[in-house]
């Protein structure tokens, strides 16, 4: 492993302190949000003095304790946030499965074909991705309403898969190009069809790329606002538009602490997910398959 135990202590010190610095920068706003989610709004978004978010002075006055679970109770019980998180789970699951399935087939084909059109296909996909999604969504509305497709989770899944396909395709393509051609070539010499070669030789070694891509597909579906806010009806709403609806509008009051509590709780499944997949993400395909 690079920079392993035998590297110089100066380098190791630099490494460690850089990691720590980065982790602080990356996690601090989130930890701050986590802490603040147990305060009242005027403490967390204090316009008087930033220390109130730490000490919770107003929370103490209001609730007799410096922490309160009101935000969580409001979001989960009063506003039925669980419904939205269930919808998000459905959407994410199907988006990841579908985009990986069709993306892997496509990305693999693109990485193995040497005809000119593969290049142009990749470029076209890239140009497709340049389109601002809000413009696309504005175009979907009329036909979707007309054909009664609007508002359903399945429509949103299909749209999210399609819109993220250029990204998935490019990412998998660049991972597949790194898997040596000789692997499937030799399988084909042994009498396999292209698909069998893919099935038996490539699939076992493609997981780090696929899992990384899957992680991004997941995050895209999970965090999407532009599409889900417009294409889903109220009862099918996913988490992000639901959170947005807690924020209120110009002329109406919202409840920001519901939103903050919802965001914190929405991060928990992700924590579990990353912990669960960490072995795949961490160890990757170090063993055997690809030796460059």
Show contacts with other proteins in window 55-114 (CB under 8 A).
Answer: 58-59, 61-63, 70, 74, 78, 101-103, 105-106, 108-110, 112-114
Task: Identify the residue among 9, 25, 191, 288 touching other proteins (CB under 8 A).
Answer: 25
Closest CA to 165 of 136, 194, 207: 136
Query: Rule CB under 8 A: is residue 154 a binding residue for other proteins?
Result: no
Helix axes 207-223, 239-246, angle to 10 degrees: 30
Q: How many residues bind other proteins (CB under 8 A)?
A: 149
Task: Identify the residue among 13, 127, 189, 203 touching other proteins (CB under 8 A).
Answer: 127
Task: Identify the residue among 64, 182, 191, 249 touching other proteins (CB under 8 A).
Answer: 249
Q: Rounded to whole angstroms, what are the CA distances from 12 to 1, 6, 20, 39, 164?
A: 13, 9, 12, 40, 39
Q: What three-state secondary structure class fits 232? A: strand
Report in angstroms how near the CB of residue 232 gets to other proteins at its nearest: 9
Query: Rule CB under 8 A: is residue 265 a binding residue for other proteins?
Result: no
Task: Identify the residue among 85, 150, 214, 217 touching other proteins (CB under 8 A).
Answer: 150
Report in angstroms how near the CB of residue 113 gets to other proteins at its nearest: 4
Report in angstroms how near the CB of residue 125 gets to other proteins at its nearest: 7
The nearer residue to other proteins, 90 or 254, going by C-beta atoms, is 254
The nearer residue to other proteins, 28 or 86, going by C-beta atoms, is 28
The nearer residue to other proteins, 19 or 93, going by C-beta atoms, is 19
Q: At a CB cut-off of 8 Å and minimum separation 6, what does 223 contact?
A: 240
The Cα–Cα gap between 1 and 175 comes to 20
Query: Rule CB under 8 A: is residue 214 a binding residue for other proteins?
Result: no
Contact (CB, 8 A) for 94 and 238: no
| Structure tokens belonging to residue 77 | 């019980």
Query: Rule CB under 8 A: is residue 2 a binding residue for other proteins?
Result: yes
Compute φ and ψ for 151, nearest 5 degrees. Answer: 95, -15
Q: Rounded to whole angstroms, what are the CA distances from 194 to 185, 186, 191, 201, 202?
A: 9, 11, 9, 10, 10
Query: Rule CB under 8 A: is residue 254 a binding residue for other proteins?
Result: yes
The Cα–Cα gap between 248 and 250 comes to 7
The nearer residue to other proteins, 51 or 93, going by C-beta atoms, is 51
Query: Rule CB under 8 A: is residue 30 a binding residue for other proteins?
Result: yes
Query: Rule CB under 8 A: is residue 152 a binding residue for other proteins?
Result: no
Task: Identify the residue among 49, 182, 191, 288 touching other proteins (CB under 8 A).
Answer: 49
Query: Rule CB under 8 A: is residue 33 a binding residue for other proteins?
Result: yes
Report in angstroms how near the CB of residue 86 gets to other proteins at its nearest: 17
Q: At a CB cut-off of 8 Å and minimum separation 6, what does 221 contact?
A: 91, 92, 95, 96, 160, 164
Closest CA to 221 of 83, 79, 100, 77: 100
From residue 165 to residue 204, the character string flagging contacts with other proteins as x (rule: CB under 8 A) and all else as - is xxxxxxx--xx-xx--------------xxx---------
- Taken in order 142, 147, 152, 153, the sign of the CA dihedral is negative
């Amino acid at each position: 492993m690079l920079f392993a135990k035998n590297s110089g202590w100066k380098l190791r010190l630099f490494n460690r302190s850089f990691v720590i610095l980065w982790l602080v920068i990356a996690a601090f706003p989130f930890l701050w949000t986590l802490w603040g989610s147990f305060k009242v709004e005027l403490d967390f978004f204090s316009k008087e003095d930033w220390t109130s978010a730490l000490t919770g002075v107003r929370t103490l006055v209001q609730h007799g304790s410096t922490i309160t679970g009101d935000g969580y109770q409001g979001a989960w019980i009063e506003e039925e946030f669980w419904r939205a998180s269930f919808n998000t789970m459905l959407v994410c699951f199907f988006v990841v499965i579908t985009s990986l399935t069709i993306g892997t087939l496509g990305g693999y084909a693109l990485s193995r074909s040497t005809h000119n059109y593969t290049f142009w296909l990749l470029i076209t996909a890239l140009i497709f991705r340049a389109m601002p999604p809000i413009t696309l969504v504005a175009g979907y509305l009329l036909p979707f309403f007309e054909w009664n497709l609007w508002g359903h989770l399945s429509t949103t899944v299909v749209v999210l898969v399609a819109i993220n396909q250029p990204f998935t395709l490019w990412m998998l393509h660049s991972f597949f190009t790194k898997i040596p051609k000789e692997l499937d070539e030799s399988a084909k010499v042994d009498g396999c069809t292209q698909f069998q070669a893919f099935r038996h030789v490539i699939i076992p070694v493609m997981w780090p790329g696929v899992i990384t891509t899957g992680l991004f597909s997941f995050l895209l579906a999970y965090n999407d606002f532009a599409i889900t806010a417009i294409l889903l009806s109220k009862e099918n709403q996913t988490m992000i538009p639901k959170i947005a609806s807690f924020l209120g509008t110009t002329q109406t009051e919202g409840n920001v602490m519901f939103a903050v509590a919802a965001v914190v709780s929405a991060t928990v499944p992700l924590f579990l997910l990353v912990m669960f997949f960490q072995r795949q993400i961490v160890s990757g395909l170090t063993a055997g398959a690809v030796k460059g």
